[in-house]
Amino acid sequence: MDKQKSLKDAYEKKYFDKTPHVKNSRVAPQTPGTKVVKIFGFEKKWDIYPEFENKNVTDIWGGLSNFAFELSPSVQKIIVVDPTYQYNLQECVEEQYQKATKRIQSTIEVQSTSKKDLTENLKLEKEVAEWIQKRRQNFINPDPKIELNSSFAQDLKWISENSQDFVFFNFVLHTLKDEISLEDEIVAAVNNAYRITKVWGKIYGIHDAVSKEDEIINALSKTDYTRDARHKEHKKYTVFIIDKK
């Protein structure tokens, strides 16, 4: 079977199968781009991140996160890769916006009836709704620095070798097709990222420590790349950095 077709079939089964026994959904990321870059040690000065100024960046499987919007003022270009873009993106965004607003209302109702302090939850859910709204507005007035790419992490298309200064995997490696071997899929994704990264460029990855952490670490150990894998924030996240030399 063609590799792209195999990946697409697995993706559709995981995220678009609407049969009653299947519990799946595409949910807008709950971790703001501001927090992701801070975990990696980048700090904003005024409206930009100096390390990203005029750089080429790729966010692999960026989906509906606000990461691209957070970096856009700083970068030369940011390519956001996600198979979702093969489908009706406006429909996906509208669906996610409805989910986000319902979560906000649900949290408000729980807080009012149970007297639980859900301030942080409510703040985050409102942020999620705000950046999905940015996606909606981007259909009308597209950000010229953001380029959407509908390929898969394991088989990147339309990005030249040695062209990107920074490549990011944000909460995605554990979600790849794993019918045969999740570790092999992760290795394929990392190899693709390495191919498009410039010499002396960097690949960054962040994942929840409970999301198939062992498979991610084992997959990274199968590569020969120089890397720094470590835990941050009291083991809540698995963070790795690969230097291309």
What is the rounded average pLDDT of the residues 57-85?
94
What band does 173 get if pLDDT is binned at 50, 70 and 90? very high
**Distance, CA of 152 to CA of 2 (rounded, Å):** 13
Q: What confidence score (pLDDT) does residue 25 get?
A: 61
Summary mean pLDDT of the chain: 88
Q: Mind listing the pLDDT tens digit for each residue in 11-50?
A: 888 777 777 665 666 666 778 888 899 999 999 999 999 9
Q: What confidence score (pLDDT) does residue 206 get?
A: 92
Q: Mind listing the pLDDT tens digit for each residue in 195-232?
A: 999 999 999 999 888 888 888 989 998 888 887 766 56
- For residue 1, pLDDT over 60 is answered with no
Q: What confidence score (pLDDT) does residue 245 get?
A: 85
- For residue 71, pLDDT over 80 is answered with yes
Q: What confidence score (pLDDT) does residue 40 get?
A: 92
What is the rounded average pLDDT of the residues 165-177?
92
Q: Mind listing the pLDDT tens digit for each residue in 125-169?
A: 888 888 889 999 999 999 999 999 999 999 999 999 999 999 999
Question: DSSP secondary structure string, the chain?
Answer: --HHHHHHHHHHHHHT---TT--------SS-HHHHHHHTT---BTTB-GGGTT-EEEEET-TT-SHHHHHTTT-SEEEEE-GGGGS-HHHHHHHHHHHHHHHHHHHHHHHHHH----HHHHHHHHHHHHHHHHHHHHHHS--TTEEEE--BTTB--S--TT-EEEEEEES-GGGS--SS-HHHHHHHHHHHHHHHEEEEEEEEEEEETTSSHHHHHHHHHTS--EEEEEEETTTTEEEEEEE--
CATH architecture for segment(s) 3-243: 3-Layer(aba) Sandwich (3.40)
Sorted by where each begins, the domain ranges of the chain are: 3-243
Residues 6+ apart with CB under 8 A from 188: 153, 154, 155
Q: What confidence score (pLDDT) does residue 24 get?
A: 63
Residues 6+ apart with CB under 8 A from 7: 83, 152, 154, 155, 177
Q: What confidence score (pLDDT) does residue 23 get?
A: 60
What is the rounded average pLDDT of the residues 104-132?
85
Q: Which residue has the higher pLDDT, 63 or 72?
A: 72
Q: What confidence score (pLDDT) does residue 3 get?
A: 80
Question: Residue 239 region, left (φ>0) first, then alpha (ψ -120 to 50), else beta?
Answer: beta
What band does 107 get if pLDDT is binned at 50, 70 and 90? confident
What band does 237 get if pLDDT is binned at 50, 70 and 90? confident
